[in-house]
Amino acid sequence: MTDLLHEFIFRSADRFPDQQALIHQKNRISYADLAKDINSVGAAMLALGLGRAERVAVYLEKRLETVIALFGATAAGGVFVPVNPLLKPEQVAYILRDCNVRILVTSADRLKLLSTVLSQCHDLHAVMVVNPAAAPTTISGLNIVPWENALVEGGHIKAHHSNSIDGDMAAILYTSGSTGKPKGVVLSHRNMVAGAKSVAQYLKNTPDDRILSVLPLSFDYGLSQLTTAFHVGATGVLMNYLLPRDIIDTVEEEKITGLAAVPPLWIELTRLNWPGNISLRYITNSGGAMPRATLDSLRSALPGTAIYLMYGLTEAFRSTFLPPEEVQTRPDSIGKAIPNAEVMVVRDDGSLCTAGEPGELVHRGALVSMGYWNDPEKTAERFKPVPSQQSGLTIPELAVWSGDTVRMDEEGFLYFIGRRDEMIKTSGYRVSPTEVEEVIYGTELVGEAAAVGVPHPVLGQAIVLITTPRAGTKLDQDALLAACKLQLPAFMLPSRIECREGSLPRNPNGKIDRRLLAQELQDAMEPEV
């Protein structure tokens, strides 16, 4: 029986020691060697003073060391924090400070970029450096440890069995929040083990699967490709692609059987020619609705491949899936609840909606996370007692209230309608308007600013920035965009900047009315009748 996340790997190492666990470019590692390295790195983290439930941040692109560091942290009784490799130094520093990271695992090049902000991270004690030749040899107050040294030294330490239980924290995944700063979603071992088992069950994963990982491991959907593979003893193939064509080439070369992507990537992939006799057994979509034309193109290009349409949120990992046999008859549906989860459609008063009635999607079960790190107020807003809880229970069970509006048909299939908050869903990422606006205001080039999302055929939503000029000045859009590029990853950059005179509209609370601005932009995009 597997209760802790890293035990997936150790169990698969016992069952399939010579099976390839991970592939990255020309590097291949068996389950036996992966388990050995995870044990060594976990032991090295303990030697560096990592305490139970203390945080280890990993700021790397996808590679073998990234995975070893993540699971080594949990093997040591710690908590891993995968940091999106696209984030800029100030954003990384915020995460390191917010969850009091003790050990950082990164590369020499990335450490150089972070060297000016790490002094702000007062709980950081040590940095494990991959490819350390070009790394700073000293940073005030930090213990700099070359990765290879950690592997060797850790391998000399007796294997440690942490006192963790499945209710302990395993990971903190950061997702943009409506207040501007990223929110850390806390996941327990139980959450992640249950999620992997559930997904592997309906995807019918086996040790023969070869699963391509193209999504960031800081994204719960991306991390899922590893946890499901490790649960069944399958092979995970790590990829940092440059062009969509590279993905198809890798599917051919590595005989990939499972591929997960978000709608913007699927749109790009459908514009390419897929080879005949493709090895793909299944593909999955989450992170937004797949356009009907894209779905039809994929079904035509991949006639022998099962297509799973899914819906999830970081706070509960995965909520629903549509079985492949239903895709033709109800392609707009997000399906029904995944195994070992219950999904309800609820009115504002907490009562259950009738068939066809829009309401908020509420998820209960073992996948409901532990809330937001160090944020009881927002946790209380999103995590509330289960609607219509059984009478007689004195301790309420908490469910996660998604903030998304859905409806359920007479047969129990769910359909996504829209988000209740103002988050922008672009390229599979949830982007906070306030986080973009804070950077804009920091440039001191604008008077007022509002970032809103508008429908986009490829991105899902595009970010449009609406500004007013500073008094007595004219907005320099090129300078503003150049300043944004220094502080924001590409997926958070505005696709268009619109400058208006006067003040931006306010809502009754005196705040800039983003919803009204978004509606104005959308109305302007619609063709005149």
pLDDT digits over 469-497, tens only? Answer: 987 889 999 999 999 999 999 999 999 99
- Please give the DSSP secondary-structure letter assigned to residue 400: E
Q: Is the dihedral of CA 444, 446, 449, 454 positive or negative?
A: negative
pLDDT digits over 363-400, tens only? Answer: 999 999 999 999 999 999 999 999 876 667 778 899 99
Q: Where are the beta strands (DSSP E) in 347-397?
A: 359-365, 383-385
pLDDT tops 60 at residue 97: yes
pLDDT of residue 528: 44
Three-state DSSP state, 104: strand
Tokens of 237: 């193939």
| Whole-number percent of the chain with pLDDT over 90 | 71
Of the listed ranges 171-175, 440-444, 485-489, the least confidently predicted one is: 440-444
Three-state DSSP state, 312: coil
Residue 81 to residue 105: CA distance in whole angstroms = 10
pLDDT tops 90 at residue 106: yes
**More confident: 122 or 178:** 122
First to last CA, the chain: 63
What domains can be seen in the chain, in order of their start residue?
7-16+24-164 (3.40.50.980), 193-385+400-419 (3.40.50.12780), 426-525 (3.30.300.30)
| 357: confidence class by pLDDT, cuts 50, 70, 90 | very high
pLDDT digits over 240-298, tens only? Answer: 988 999 999 999 999 999 999 998 899 889 989 999 889 999 999 998 888 888 899 99
| 527: confidence class by pLDDT, cuts 50, 70, 90 | low
Half-sphere exposure of 476 (CA within 13 A, CB side): 10
pLDDT tops 90 at residue 215: yes
pLDDT tops 50 at residue 128: yes
Residue pair 206/200 in contact (Cβ under 8 Å)? The answer is no
pLDDT tops 70 at residue 87: yes
* pLDDT averaged over every residue in the chain: 91
Q: Left if phi > 0, otherwise alpha if psi is -120 to 50, otherwise beta: which for 444?
A: left
pLDDT of residue 419: 72
What b/e sequence results for 275-304 when a residue is b if at least 16 CB atoms lie within 10 Å of its CB, and e otherwise? eeebebbbbbbbbbbbbeebbebbeebbee
pLDDT of residue 435: 82
Question: Cα–chain-centroid distance for residue 328?
Answer: 28
| 161: confidence class by pLDDT, cuts 50, 70, 90 | low
pLDDT of residue 418: 73
| 155: confidence class by pLDDT, cuts 50, 70, 90 | low
pLDDT of residue 225: 97
Residue 251 to residue 108: CA distance in whole angstroms = 30
| 157: confidence class by pLDDT, cuts 50, 70, 90 | low
| 503: confidence class by pLDDT, cuts 50, 70, 90 | confident
Question: Cα–chain-centroid distance for residue 249?
Answer: 25
Dmax (CA) for the chain in angstroms is: 75
pLDDT tops 50 at residue 178: no
| 514: confidence class by pLDDT, cuts 50, 70, 90 | confident
pLDDT tops 60 at residue 508: no
Mean pLDDT calculated for residue range 97-105: 98
Of the listed ranges 19-33, 147-161, 194-208, the least confidently predicted one is: 147-161
pLDDT of residue 256: 98
Mean pLDDT calculated for residue range 8-35: 97
Residue with tokens 């809103």: 452
The kind and range of the H/E element at 462 are strand 460-469
What b/e sequence results for 317-339 when a residue is b if at least 16 CB atoms lie within 10 Å of its CB, and e otherwise? bbbbbbeeebbeeebebbbbbbe
**Nearest alpha-carbon partner for 190 in 57, 342, 317, 372:** 317
